[in-house]
Structure 1
Amino acid sequence: MSTVKLWIEGARLRTLPLAIAPIILGSATAASLDSFDPLLSILALLVALSLQVGVNYANDYSDGIRGTDENRVGPLRLTGSGSAKPGSVKIAAFASFGFAGLVGLAVVLLTGQWFLVLIGLVAIVAAWFYTGGKNPYGYAGLGEIAVFVFFGLVATVGTNFIQTGFLDPLAVLVGGAYGLYASAVLMVNNIRDIKTDKESGKITVAVRLGEKNSRRLFIWMLWMPVLINLMLVLVYPATLLGLLNLLLVIPATLIALDGRGAKELITALKLASFAGLGFGVLVGAGIFFVSFSF
C-alpha cells in the first residue's frame, strides 16, 4: 500500500458521516428559523471533519503506543501495525486539531461569539484525552458519553447557534437523537473489541456491561432516534423520510440479536454509521422542506 493510501486508511474516512450529519441537522434547524447561513455551515463542517480526522489519528497513536491494537480486528491502524512512526501519527493528529482551531477562529470572528473559543478548546482537549494521556477517559467507560455530547449535542446545537444566536430546543432534540447513533457506532466497535480491550486494560462500557447487555444497549441506541423521528413527524411531516433509516436499523438490530462475531459486528458498525448519516440527511431534509415551503 502506498504512503498516501496508508494515511488515508489511517484517517478512517468511513467515520466521517459522524461529522457530517450533525452539521446538516444544525443547519436545517437554523433554516427553520430563517437563519440559514451557507458560509457558516461550510465552516462548521470543516471544523467537524477536521476534529473527526484528528480524533482518529489521536486514537491510532495513543492505542498504538499502549499496545491496545496489537491483536485488534478491524481497519488498519498506522501505529499498531507499524506502518507509520508514532511521532508522525501524533503530528497528523495535532495538525488536524490545529486546522480545526483555525477554521473555528474564523467562525468566532464572523459571529463575534468569543466564548466559542473555550468550547473549541474543550472539544480538542476531550478529543486528545479520550485515549491519550496517563488516564484516558475512554479507558474508563466514558467514551459513549463524550461522543453523545460532542458529536451529537455540541456539533448540532453549535452549528445552529452560530447561525441563530440562541439555544434552539429543536436543535437540542435532533442533536440528542443523532448523538445516540454516534454513540451506537462506538458501542458496537467496543463490543467487537471486548476481549482485546480486557487484555489491554481498556475498561469500556462494553467491557463493564458484558457482551449480552452491551448488545441490548446498542439496540436501544439505534431505536430511540426512530421514536424521536416519529415525534418529529407530528410537527414536520416531511421528516417521515427519516423512517427510511429502518432499512439500516433493522439489519443492524438483527446482527446484534443474533450474537454474530467480529466480522458481522463490523457490518453492524457500518450500518449504524450510515443510519446516523441517514438521520441527518433525511430528517434534515424534512425540516428544510417545511422551512422553505411557507
Structure 2
Amino acid sequence: MSKQSANWKLWIAGARPRTLPASVAPVIVGAAAAWQYLAMLGVCTEQYPEPAACTANRAAQAVLLGRFWPVAVLCLIVALALQIAVNYANDYSDGIRGTDNGRDIPEPDDNPYDEPFDEPHPRKPQRLVASGVPARQVLRAAGVAAGIACVAGLAAVIVAHAWLLLAVGALSLLAGWTYTGGRHPYGYAGFGELGVFLFFGLAAVLGTQYALTGTIDLTGILSSICCGLNAMMLLMVNNLRDIDEDQRHGKRTLAVRLGEGNARTALAACVGAELLVSIVIVSALWPGWGVLLMISGIAVPLRMMRGVARHEFRGALMDAGYQTLFFAALIVLCVAVGGL
C-alpha cells in the first residue's frame, strides 16, 4: 500500500464515517415532520366561499413546498459538514492532550480489509494526530468543514427566512469545539451525552423543521427526543469501548463516572425510552402497520446491548448507527404511507 493511499485512508477514517448517521438521520426526520405539517396545512373543509384562513394556508403551503427541497439539501450539507468538523476538532483536541495515544492501532498492511480487528483483541479506529499527522493540519481541516457548514447554513437561513437559526448554528459550532476543546471541555466532564441529545436531537430535528415550515409541532418534538436518544446511545457505546483509555488519560466521560455496569444500565434505559416514545409517534402517524414495523426492528438495539455486554463494540457501534437510520426511515415511511 502506497504512503499516499494510506494517508487518504487515514483522513477518511479521521472523519469517522460511522458517526455520520447521527447527523444525517435528524435532518431526514426533521424534513419528514415538516412534510407532515405542510400536508396538514393544506387540509381544509370544503366550503363556498372558501374561508380566508384556508386560502391563506394554501398560499403559505405553496410557498413552503416551493423551497422545500433546496432548504432540505442545505440542512443536510450543514449537518454532514458540521459533524465532520466536530470529528476533526475532537481528533485535534484529544491528540494534543494525548488522550488518543496507545490506542493499539494495527498497521494497514496487517489487516487486508482495512477494518479494526475484532475481539478478543479489539483494535481502536485510527486517529490523525495520534498517528503522526501534524495537529495544525487537522485543525485546518476542521476549519474548512466548519466553513462549509457556515456557508450552507447561511444560505438555508436566507432562503427560508429563518433568521433565528443563526443563533442555533452559532451554538452548535461552539458546542462542537468545546466538546473536547478549550480549557474546560464538557466531554471530559461527563456531559457529552447531554450535548449530543441537545444538538443531534432537539436542535437538528427542530431546526430542520423550523427552516422548512417556520414552526415546530408535537411530531417534531417527539421525533427530536428519539433522535437525541439514538445519538446518546451511539456515544455511550463509543465511550464504553474507550472507558479504560479515557480513565487513564483523565477523560471523565459518563461511562467513566458511572462505571461500566451502571453505564450499561443507563444505555438500556435510553433504549427503553426511545422505544416508548417511538411507539407514541408511529401510533399517531401510521397505526397498525407502522407499529408492527417498529416492533420488527427491536432486535437491533437488543443486539447492540448484547454486543456491549460481550465487549463486541465494533458490532455494537454498527447497530447503534443502524438504529438511527432505521428510525429515520420508519418516520419517512409513516409520513409517506400513513396519510394515504
Q: Is the 8 A contact 2:239 2:255 kept in 1?
A: yes
Residues 249-268 of structure 1: CA deviation (Å, up to 9, x unaligned): 12112223xx323xx02321
Matched residue, 1:288: 336
Matched residue, 1:245: 297
CA distance, structure 2, for counterparts of residue 57 and residue 239 of structure 1: 38
| Structure 2 residue 162 is matched with structure 1 residue 113 | yes
CA distance, structure 2, for counterparts of residue 196 and residue 3 of structure 1: 25
Q: Is the 8 A contact 1:153 1:172 kept in 2?
A: yes
For residue 78 of structure 1, the aligned residue among 123, 128, 132 is 128
CA distance, structure 1, for counterparts of residue 219 and residue 28 of structure 2: 13
Matched residue, 1:20: 24
For residue 189 of structure 2, the aligned residue among 132, 136, 140 is 140
- Report SS of the residue matched to 2:298: helix
Partner AA of 2:96 in structure 1? I
- Report SS of the residue matched to 2:333: helix
| Structure 2 residue 326 is matched with structure 1 residue 278 | yes
Residues 181-218 of structure 1: CA deviation (Å, up to 9, x unaligned): 10111111111111111111111111110000000111
- Report SS of the residue matched to 2:297: helix
CA distance, structure 1, for counterparts of residue 244 and residue 274 of structure 2: 29
CA distance, structure 2, for counterparts of residue 167 and residue 199 of structure 1: 43
State how many pairs are aligned: 287
For residue 213 of structure 1, the aligned residue among 262, 282, 293 is 262
CA distance, structure 2, for counterparts of residue 197 and residue 254 of structure 1: 22
Partner AA of 2:206 in structure 1? V
- Report SS of the residue matched to 2:310: coil
For residue 62 of structure 1, the aligned residue among 85, 90, 93 is 93
Q: TM-score, normalised by structure 2?
A: 0.81
CA distance, structure 2, for counterparts of residue 198 and residue 140 of structure 1: 12
Q: TM-score, normalised by structure 1?
A: 0.93
> Which runs of 5 or more residues in structure 1 are unaligned?
none
Matched residue, 1:44: 75
Quote how far apart the aligned CAs of 1:281 are: 1.2
- Report SS of the residue matched to 1:274: helix
Cα RMSD for the two superposed structures: 1.4
Matched residue, 1:4: 8
Partner AA of 1:247 in structure 2? A
Q: Is the 8 A contact 2:206 2:221 kept in 1?
A: yes
Moved over 3 A (4+): none
